[in-house]
Amino acid sequence: MGANYVPSSGWFYSWLDFDPDAARRDFADLASIGLDHVRVFPIWPWIQPNRGLIRQRAIDDLLTVIDCAAEFDLRVAVDLLQGHLSSFDFLPSWVLTWHQASVFTDPTVRAGLADYTRTVAAAVSTRPNVFAVTLGNEVNNLWPANPTTLDATFGFTADLVAGVRAVAPRLTCLTSFYDDIWYSPTHPFSPAAAVDLGDITTVHSWTFNGVAGIDAPLGPATTTHADYLVELAAAAATTADRRVWLQEVGAAEPDIPAASAAAFAQATVDAVVDNPALCGITWWCSHDIDPALLDFPHREYDLGLFTVDHRRKPVADVLASVCAGSANRPTRLANAARRGLMCPVDPRDPQTRDQVAPGSTFHQDWVGLRKLGPVAIVPPARTSLTA
């Protein structure tokens, strides 16, 4: 159980005026509730402002953050391509203005990005508490401003994975996608990019991406959405033992009002924590955003486990309780002990993704059956579980 690290002072703009003592204070908050890891987000254009310039000072600041986390026994996952954060896109000027080029298809941009990802991955791999590198945060959100195709995005992802593995072979290498990759038949990233590339699959569960209109804030479709995504990702894998990381999940207003946030967190974690495919949960996010910072969507400001002045919020109490009780949890259900629901389409097929999206007939059937206990999604190609 961990948290996506959003600095309490200055959001990610704090990289521009880095203060290690501020990072230590934030990590002390997270360690105090028993979390064991953080996911951190360096900003691509601030490290590589020119295709031929990768700033060592910015990399050193990242390494200092990692070392600060180690002081509190926190392991670290590093996201490389930001990319997209909290509704803002961060791209260097050398892919914009008259240089305008798609990060996914332009060979010059891809070469520059490959240099960046290899350089940063090699640097962070020197720190023993770094356990994973994610290519970037929801990089598929950079389209349609960066036109691309299914084949191009698969190649883009595969090339970056190969580059990271070459320089940081001990680290788990991951991809990260907004959930249009699972639900939208027109989206130019395919489920195969999520489940075939990288060492484990990641999912990001947000109620505003479909389930909120069904029964938010505490209905069964809403509180089991994370478990549904983990199941869908596991069903799309070509092997039954592919692990899934719930890399983002949070209580976003207005769909989840503040008064319901703790109950939502408890119900969501209870529903997913014993899923046999699950390997970790990382809450979004560590700290609120200072309201003095302008132009964020309303829901982004209050997602933290802690306020900007380090006050612990009710959702943090929920996660602390989960962490405290984790050693005494019963063994996860084996597949043989779980119900299965046959999926009417191949969850790997990009063209039929709307048939498994929230509100679809299949999703409604799964939610109904899930009220009786855990339910595996069984793809047509796999028959080890039956309804």
pLDDT tens for each residue of 276-307: 999 999 999 999 999 999 999 999 999 999 99
Distances, alpha carbon 319 to alpha carbons 132, 226, 267, 316, in Å: 22, 16, 11, 5
Q: Which of 286, 205, 218, 209 is nearest to 244 (CA)?
A: 205
What's the pLDDT score for residue 387? 36
The count of C-alpha atoms lying within 13 angstroms of the C-alpha of 236, restricted to the half-sphere facing its C-beta, is 29
- In this predicted structure, what is the pLDDT of residue 308? 97
- The residue-averaged pLDDT of 369-375 equals 96
pLDDT value of residue 385: 44
Residue-level pLDDT at 132: 98
Q: Is the pLDDT of residue 331 over 70?
A: no
* Average pLDDT, integer, range 308-317: 98
The pLDDT value given to residue 326: 74
Interval 341-358 mean pLDDT = 97
Q: Is the pLDDT of residue 314 over 80?
A: yes
Could you tell me the pLDDT band of residue 386, with boundaries at 50, 70 and 90?
Answer: very low
* Predicted TM-score of the model (pTM): 0.95
Exposed/middle/buried for residue 296 (C-beta within 10 Å: 0-12, 13-18, 19+): middle
Residue 209 has pLDDT above 80, yes or no: yes
Confidence bin at 328 (pLDDT 50/70/90): low
Per-residue pLDDT, averaged over 23-52, amounts to: 98
- Mean pLDDT on 128-156: 95
Exposure string of 161-172, with b = 16+ CB inside 10 Å and e = fewer, is bebbbebbeebb
Question: pLDDT averaged over the chain?
Answer: 94
Quick check: 166 pLDDT over 60? yes
C-alpha pair distances (Å), 317 with each of 35, 205, 284: 11, 20, 15
Please give the class, per CATH, of domain 2-332. Answer: alpha beta
Nearest alpha carbon to residue 195 among 239, 135, 246: 239
Q: Residue 357: is its pLDDT beyond 70?
A: yes
Please state the rounded mean pLDDT for residues 33-59. 98
At 79 the three-state DSSP class reads strand
> Confidence band (pLDDT; 50, 70, 90) for 338?
confident
- Alpha helix segments (H runs only) across 101-195: 107-124, 150-167, 180-183, 191-195
The Cα 88–Cα 294 span in angstroms is 12
What does the pLDDT read at residue 111?
97
Is the predicted pLDDT of residue 330 greater than 90, yes or no? Answer: no
| pLDDT score of 329 more than 70 | no
Residue 333: pLDDT over 80 = no
